Amino acid sequence: MAQLFFKYSTMNAGKSTELIKVAYNYEERGKRVLVFTPSIDDRDGRGVISSRIGLQREAIPVEEETNILQVFLRENEKHEVDCVLLDEGQFLKKHHVLELTEIVDSCGVPVIVYGLKNDFRNELFEGSYYLLIYADKIEEIKTICWCGRKATMVARVKDGRIVREGDQIMVGGLDLYVPLCRKHYNDGRLQEEQED
């Protein structure tokens, strides 16, 4: 039975790497996958998924007005699709998430979405909010804070300090964001303090 999966984490946990690996595994077995990514994340080009370890994969760019269900139906007509994968799910809109549920429920095709759960202010993104509501399975991909504890927060950083105000969406990598445990997110420490 097909399901909608939401696999979330903080920055630098390997979400994009896992998506690329899952796509490869399907394709190696002769299966067809459709891979999507929101076009807002164009750091490595529009419609490109890149991992920090150097893996890349082309994907179908998702605009705010894109109907993912229609794209799926069109592609499925050409050649049967076995799985849908989507990176950066936090940038989805409610209608995108509902379209993904329709792919699962009406077409019987599994959908796996990877993304952040919360933003740098520790609030849910729209896409994450609806994925948490509608996903059949929710899985955390773990990574660690500089102290070794599990990182659950994403801190936006500027000039070596945590920024707590600003627009929710500012696309960037480890140059702008750092994964932290709750303790160090709250106390603002980005690294172990050096003794004099």
Q: Please, which residues bridge with residue 156 across strands? A: 163, 177
The residues that are catalytic are 88
Task: Tell me the C-alpha distance between 35 and 86, whole Å.
Answer: 6
Encoded tokens for 93: 């809109």
CA 9 remoteness from chain centre: 8
The answer to whether 88 and 19 are in contact (CB under 8 A) is no
Q: How many CA atoms lie within 13 A of 44 on its CB side?
A: 15
The answer to whether 100 and 107 are in contact (CB under 8 A) is no
Neighbours of 68 (CB within 10 A): 23
Which residue matches tokens 């932290």? Answer: 180
Please count the residues of the chain.
196
For residue 50, the SS3 value is strand
- One-letter amino acid at 34 equals L
